[in-house]
Amino acid sequence: MQLGKVYLVGAGPGDPDLLTIKAYNLISAAGCIVYDHLVNPAILDYARSDAEIIYAGKQSGKCAMRQEAINALLVTKTTEHEIVVRLKGGDPFVFGRGGEEAETLVDCGIEWEVVPGISSGVAAAAYAGIPVTQRGLSTSVTFVTGHEDPTKSTSTINWQHLAKGTDTLVFFMGVGHLADIADSLMQHGRAANTPLAVIQWGTYQHQVTHVTDLVSVRELLACEEIRPPAIIVIGEVVRMRETLRWFDKATAIAEETRQASDLSPA
């Protein structure tokens, strides 16, 4: 039997315009698409009308399909379709468990390929006006999971290194542990006044950015309802948002224009 090929495709951070050309071409050609929760549904509009579309999303406290089942599904679908797209938010190999799926495909002798996507860890910060590196401010950036494997008995995060050894920190899936993250960094030597940004729904039109510092995180959480999806950026580069918040300004101008148009006489 001739088996199909699986493409582990990054859908980018949310804005469909940030999809790569290769990702678009594969989505348009796929017989089957297995997609995650953080994939913008608008991207699925590019799929063939006869494509098999399967939701395999994971949310906090909710799981449409366990990872083992997803792995097995990808293998099964290669017996039914020539092109199978495993569509993931951001980049498949940046906290997307794409490596685990690739290992399964290798073990089963199935042809596969990874198509990188724009990581939300870079894109959400950029849309908030925060460059994760900046000459004179940050020559290093570290991506960190804010939600470790719950089966682990102890954390494997090197908090001492993170606190003192890297300029910019970008936490994925960390909103539920934001206060603990701030406390751990301060306990290991990061300055209490280090600026911090929480970017919700990065690159979407309804993106919201909250800025505070490590010592004031609990005050922010008490005042604002912050829910996933969100990216946390910590470091001096966050201060650049004051002058570089281009997306907020563009969105505000567009909204003012829309309102003016609505009020104009027909």
Q: Which residues are catalytic?
A: 36, 58, 173
Q: Which of 124, 113, 120 is nearest to 23 (CA)?
A: 113
Bridging pattern class, strands 83-88 and 32-35: parallel
User: For 115, which DSSP code?
Assistant: E
Euclidean distance between CA atoms 32 and 84, whole angstroms: 5
Residue 248: exposure state from Cβ atoms within 10 A (0-12, 13-18, ≥19): middle
CB 196 within 8 A of CB 232: yes
Three-class secondary structure of residue 2 per DSSP: coil
Q: Which of 12, 178, 203 is nearest to 89 (CA)?
A: 12
Residue identified by tokens 């939600």 is 147
Cβ neighbours of 180 (radius 10 Å): 13
Cβ neighbours of 172 (radius 10 Å): 23
